[in-house]
Amino acid sequence: MKSITKNNIRTSFYPLWQQYNRYKAYLLRYPKSGNGFEAISRAKMIEYNKVRIHGAKPIFCYNPFVNLFFNIYGNAIACCRSHTNVLGTYPNQSIKDIWFGGKINKMREHMIHNDLNMGCEYCKLQIESNRFHSLPSIHSEKFATDKHDVFPQILELELSNTCNLQCVMCSGRVSSSIRKHRENLPPIVSPYDDAFVDQLEEFIPHLKMICFYGGEPFLIDLYYKILNLVIKINPAIKIYVVTNGTVFNQKIANLLQSVYFMLSVSIDSLKPELFSQIRVGAKLDEVIENFKKFQKLTNGNTIISHTPMRLNWDETPDIINFCTQHNVRVGLSYVEGPAKFALWSFMPDKLDEVYKFYQNVQFESTANHYTAIYNIQVFNEWKEQVKFFRDNNRNILLSYKDINQSFNNSLIQVQLFYKRLYEIIPNNCITYEQAMSVIDYLVIKKPRIPVHLDMLNNIVSDMEDIIKKGTVVKAKQVLKDTNSFTEYLQQYLNEDLFWAKYY
């Protein structure tokens, strides 16, 4: 006889629960556009609600009502993906002033109308491509409320970038090692101090969940201070830590056993060499060993985070299988940038190859298992997003249908602007003819593609700017010799930058 486990119960009820939400999705009343708000369409909300993990709801995201995220610069935002909409800054403002302040209330007004035009471009793209499982609103769904006057139930902390790794797709903003060794920049001075921890005290009793990001959270001293305080004041809380899986010791083991912890361990490849190539400074066998310890110490509450990129997209199905075999859920992380690592900046043909590869994937037969069902859904949404990129990129290229005509028009503009420019720049630069022959060599003699057109348009707007402002410093720099002029043009001949305009 099948034993009664949490997983079996979940597996039995999950299809019923999904069915119920599929009906409910049609019955809910959704906010409509109007009065200055642009609501997500009813059709899209129905699609989302049919698969929404914590059940169908009328509002798309509850983060501004439930969640507060602090980043390394002291900025408070609604979630990890809404960096452009700063709601307040510590220490200029207290946590309380930020949470009960005017800016966040404005964002709540937008959210109550399902309007994502306040820093939520990331989610706009995800819902447009029907990828719902990795939305940053998932945690707050559990505690959904639209009240304005209650304390936050989730705090997300990215207070320091202290990190021992230099992952290829990462940046110095979240890795002190990258900042030092790859970017050659001075350390970021964290604004968070004891006064911040003191201010947190008032918030901790109201929290259902607290999340620690980095850097590598287990290397950040301030986090241990906050953790001890949280465990003392609110031992029923859930603590979520996103770790690179390289740090483990007895102190961490004791901590993990003291209250409810959930961990996310990053695994981007199961091939040792590729793993170390992506997660520079880490070794696969050590991370897998730590992952197993974490899984045991958290009673199975550990998930694997995997970032499909140009380097490892063909391994995603293997990672999904690995997760299912270890009975852990997978989270597929999305590369917003740099474009050169992301799949959205592939040409349509390459995306078609990726999509077809994914279409041929057959997962092992574990269909009645909750984790397996979940992981396959996550994969399927990712696969469909690849298709979305393919079709979108195809349409973008097609929109350049008059490329020859546009190219010729832009070229005339370039020539006119350069003639005007040469009237104001000094003589000790390359000549007009030399400049034109570089352009000729780089683009005119090649088959015309949108990136070439972009280059011409970009140099026109650069020249326009220089002529308008009467400043010749930049012109002198780029026209110093043919090498520097070629380098200047090549920065605009970048396919990754071209696609980044659209994502």
Rounded (5°) CA angle 44-50-53: 110
- In angstroms, the CA 486 to CA 367 distance is 56
Smallest separation, CB 108 to ligand SF4 (Å): 10
| Nearest CB to ligand SF4, comparing residues 116 and 265 | 116
Q: Which tokens is 136 given?
A: 């940053």
CA distances from 392 to 283, 334, 351 (A): 37, 17, 11
Q: Is 412 left (phi over 0), alpha (psi -120 to 50) or beta?
A: alpha
Cα within 13 Å of Cα(494), Cβ side? 14
Smallest separation, CB 121 to ligand SF4 (Å): 8
Which residues are 331's β-sheet partners? Answer: 305
Smallest separation, CB 60 to ligand SF4 (Å): 6
Smallest separation, CB 388 to ligand SF4 (Å): 18
| Nearest CB to ligand SF4, comparing residues 69 and 248 | 69
| Nearest CB to ligand SF4, comparing residues 118 and 421 | 118
| Nearest CB to ligand SF4, comparing residues 79 and 319 | 79
Smallest separation, CB 331 to ligand SF4 (Å): 14
Cα within 13 Å of Cα(352), Cβ side? 6
CB atoms within 10 A of CB 126: 21
Smallest separation, CB 144 to ligand SF4 (Å): 12
Smallest separation, CB 107 to ligand SF4 (Å): 8
| Nearest CB to ligand SF4, comparing residues 65 and 322 | 65
Sheet holding 88-89, edge to edge: 88-89, 75-77, 67-70, 154-157, 209-212, 238-243, 260-266, 302-306, 330-332
| Nearest CB to ligand SF4, comparing residues 71 and 324 | 71
| Nearest CB to ligand SF4, comparing residues 81 and 329 | 81
Which residues are 212's β-sheet partners? Answer: 157, 241
- In angstroms, the CA 254 to CA 231 distance is 12
Q: Which residues contact 270 (CB under 8 A, 6 or more apart)?
A: 284, 315, 318, 319, 322
Q: Is 300 left (phi over 0), alpha (psi -120 to 50) or beta?
A: left
| Nearest CB to ligand SF4, comparing residues 137 and 176 | 137
| Nearest CB to ligand SF4, comparing residues 78 and 241 | 78
Smallest separation, CB 68 to ligand SF4 (Å): 11
DSSP H helical ranges for 115-193: 121-128, 138-141, 176-177
Smallest separation, CB 152 to ligand SF4 (Å): 13
Q: Is 35 left (phi over 0), alpha (psi -120 to 50) or beta?
A: left
Smallest separation, CB 70 to ligand SF4 (Å): 14
State the SS3 of 395-414.
Answer: HHHHCCCCHHHHHHHHHHHH
Map residue 503 onto helix, strand or coil. Answer: coil
Residues in the chain: 503
Map residue 127 onto helix, strand or coil. Answer: helix
Smallest separation, CB 136 to ligand SF4 (Å): 4
Smallest separation, CB 123 to ligand SF4 (Å): 3
H/E stretch holding 210 reads strand 209-212
| Nearest CB to ligand SF4, comparing residues 110 and 452 | 110
List of residues contacting ligand SF4 (CB under 6 A): 61, 63, 78-79, 81-82, 116, 120, 122-123, 135-137
| Nearest CB to ligand SF4, comparing residues 61 and 354 | 61
Which residues are 262's β-sheet partners? Answer: 240
DSSP state letters, 292-307: HHHHHHTTT-EEEEE-
Q: State the amino acid at position 370 in one-letter form.
A: Y
| Nearest CB to ligand SF4, comparing residues 119 and 348 | 119
Smallest separation, CB 260 to ligand SF4 (Å): 23
| Nearest CB to ligand SF4, comparing residues 134 and 166 | 134
